[in-house]
Amino acid sequence: MSDPRLAELSRLLPALALKTESADLAFYGRDWTRRWTPAPLAIALPSSIEEVQGIVRWANAQRVALVPSGGRTGLSGGAVAANGELVVSLERMNRVLGFHSADRLLTVQAGMALEAVHQAALGHGLIYPVDFASRGSCSIGGNIATNAGGIRVVRYGNTRDWIAGLTLVTGSGDVLELNRGLVKNSSGYDLRQLVIGAEGTLGIVVEAQLRLTDPPPASQVMLLALPSFEALMQVFERLRARLTLSAFEFFTDRALHHVAAHGAQRPFAEDYPYYVVTEFDGDSPDAALEAFGTLLEAELVVDGVIAQSQAQAAALWHLREGITEALARHLPYKNDVSVRIGAMPRFLAETQVLLGREYPHFEVVWFGHIGDGNLHINVLKPEAMENADFVHECGRVTALLAQSLQNHGGSISAEHGIGLVKKPYLSSTRSAAEVALMRGIRRAFDPAGIMNPHKLFDADADAVVPA
Ligand code: 2HG
Ligand code: ZN
């Protein structure tokens, strides 16, 4: 170890795995945003809470910033290390620690992949219902850091609703066991909920107690084609009134175009403006057929497919879940916004007009989670445009969106977090008084400002690592 700070870390924690090869720095220093050039000091891969605590104490003494790291599937730059930080990867802390049947709790280490959590829950005849497309790579610790939402929020809520307890190593090196799996706990501030969504700025989540629930008896999946967004909202309300919806996801014809160009089979011979993939509890396709018939009769849908097998259900889901991957080659600039469910049609209509008028040279792809008011707005890079110009112009697009969101009482980040990408727009969603309180909370957990500095909001002027 040529860096004396790393030599000291190895002396303090001789068993700690450290990586310093340039390929490792490049791999662990970035997330799915490809905008920053990774340049961490090194990668630490702790195997225990004691090692994490040792790293945090060392970082305080040496004034080294830490970037907690899970599956690095984030889309807001929250796990980027571009300024000589030590990346603390939780990938070796990826085990189930216990299952408590009476409490229906699964205790896991934070580096466990979401999909592995799903499997572990199923092994006990239960489900952990938070779910989204990056399930195979993202980690539960990262899900906690951004309060990840996904495709089942309409039925089950966000990550925060399923975290019954968590263990945190704070920025000052204390180990806190927050809420310890209790259902009821009326004993003051719920620090666990502060940590969820804090994007690693308060400390490093090392373990979590996850609530599990009964699996649905069986489910049906339908793809619907719709003539307008207004019809789509009516379909949502009608289906929600009659069925137990566990997902109601929408995408536009542009999104379908890109997924099809990426290899998926087009579901219909004709093009329609909007599509919905919906899933609901039920053990017979008759309910789906009946619901579809009623919607067709009311002219709210124009076409549809009801999955007849698991394979067909997976193919229909792929049309929605494959969008992110299909768009990746166009280097999209991502926006992940939310407004109240009822405000979506006006927000969407106004914003489509605004973007079409101000940025006619951009292709904008819309999709998202209707049941919880979360819209993904991906702006694709025109091939001929320089990346730096594109990013600059997209910043102005986001400023426009932020203004519109402010008018509609919405949020600039629904489920991806603020990170580096959305930091300039935080004030459109949070008042100055709120941000000041957040900074104060951050200082209370992390007085030296070593935890993921410059993410969420700018670090204080005396930050250990310059912005
Ligand atoms: C999804 O809902 C994810 O598929 C990713 O949140 C959204 O790629 C995106 O913009
Ligand atoms: Zn999403």
Give 359-372 pLDDT, tens digit per residue: 999 999 999 999 99
Sheet holding 303-306, edge to edge: 303-306, 219-226, 274-281, 245-252, 363-369, 374-380, 333-338
State if residue 152 touches ligand 1 by the CB under 6 angstroms criterion: no
State if residue 334 touches ligand 1 by the CB under 6 angstroms criterion: yes
pLDDT for 240 beyond 70:
yes
- Provide the ipTM: 0.99
State if residue 146 touches ligand 1 by the CB under 6 angstroms criterion: no
CA distance 238 to 236: 6
CA distance 16 to 340: 46
Supply the DSSP symbol for 365. Answer: E
Beta bridge partners of 338: 374, 411
Give 272-331 pLDDT, tens digit per residue: 999 999 999 987 878 889 999 999 999 999 999 999 999 999 999 999 999 999 999 999
Mutate to test the pocket of ligand 1, among 321, 336, 338 (most ligand atoms within 8 A of CB): 336
Mutate to test the pocket of ligand 1, among 132, 159, 379, 412 (most ligand atoms within 8 A of CB): 132
User: How high is the pLDDT of residue 266?
Assistant: 96
Distance 179 CA to ligand 2 centre (A): 28
State if residue 378 touches ligand 1 by the CB under 6 angstroms criterion: yes
Supply the DSSP symbol for 330. Answer: T
Distance 134 CA to ligand 1 centre (A): 9
Distance 324 CA to ligand 1 centre (A): 6
Distance 346 CA to ligand 2 centre (A): 20
CA distance 41 to 384: 35
Calculate mean pLDDT across residues 387-405: 95
User: How high is the pLDDT of residue 1?
Assistant: 67
Strands 42-45, 86-89: pairing is parallel
Beta bridge partners of 248: 278
Q: What is the mean pLDDT of the chain?
A: 96
Atom number of ligand 1 nearest to Cα 336: 10
Q: What does 389-426 look like in DSSP terms, one character per residue? A: HHHHHHHHHHHHHHHHHHHHT-BSBSSS--TTTTGGGG
Q: What does 160-175 look like in DSSP terms, one character per residue? A: GGGEEEEEEEETTS-E
State if residue 365 touches ligand 1 by the CB under 6 angstroms criterion: no
Give 77-89 pLDDT, tens digit per residue: 999 999 999 999 9
Encoded amino acid at 363, one letter: E
Which residue, chain included where needed, has tokens 């450290």? 18
| Number of other residues whose CB lies within 10 A of the CB of residue 186 | 6
pLDDT category at 258 given cuts 50, 70, 90 is: very high
Sheet holding 66-69, edge to edge: 17-19, 42-45, 86-89, 66-69
pLDDT category at 459 given cuts 50, 70, 90 is: confident
Based on the number of CB atoms within 10 Å of its own CB, is 265 exposed (0-12), middle (13-18) or buried (19 or more)? exposed
State if residue 133 touches ligand 1 by the CB under 6 angstroms criterion: yes
Ligand that lies nearest to the alpha carbon of residue 334, given by its number in the listed order: 1
State if residue 376 touches ligand 1 by the CB under 6 angstroms criterion: yes
The rounded percent of the chain whose pLDDT value lies above 70 is 100
Question: Quick one: which of 274, 203, 186 has its CA closest to 233?
Answer: 274
State if residue 221 touches ligand 1 by the CB under 6 angstroms criterion: no
The CA-based angle 322-326-329, given to 5 degrees, is 155
Distance 376 CA to ligand 1 centre (A): 6
State if residue 30 touches ligand 1 by the CB under 6 angstroms criterion: no
Give 224-239 pLDDT, tens digit per residue: 999 999 999 999 999 9
CA dihedral (312, 247, 243, 106) positive or negative = positive
pLDDT for 460 beyond 90:
no
Give me the domains of the chain, ranges plus CATH numbers.
4-91 (3.30.43.10), 96-211 (3.30.465.10), 219-324 (3.30.70.2190), 330-418 (3.30.70.2740)
Provide Rg for the chain, Cα atoms. 23
Calculate mean pLDDT across residues 157-185: 98
The rounded percent of the chain whose pLDDT value lies above 90 is 95
Atom number of ligand 1 nearest to Cα 368: 2
pLDDT for 268 beyond 90:
yes
Mutate to test the pocket of ligand 1, among 318, 367, 377 (most ligand atoms within 8 A of CB): 367
pLDDT for 464 beyond 80:
no
| Number of other residues whose CB lies within 10 A of the CB of residue 2 | 6
- Residue 86 to residues 55, 82, 361, Cα–Cα distance (Å): 9, 10, 40
User: How high is the pLDDT of residue 56?
Assistant: 98
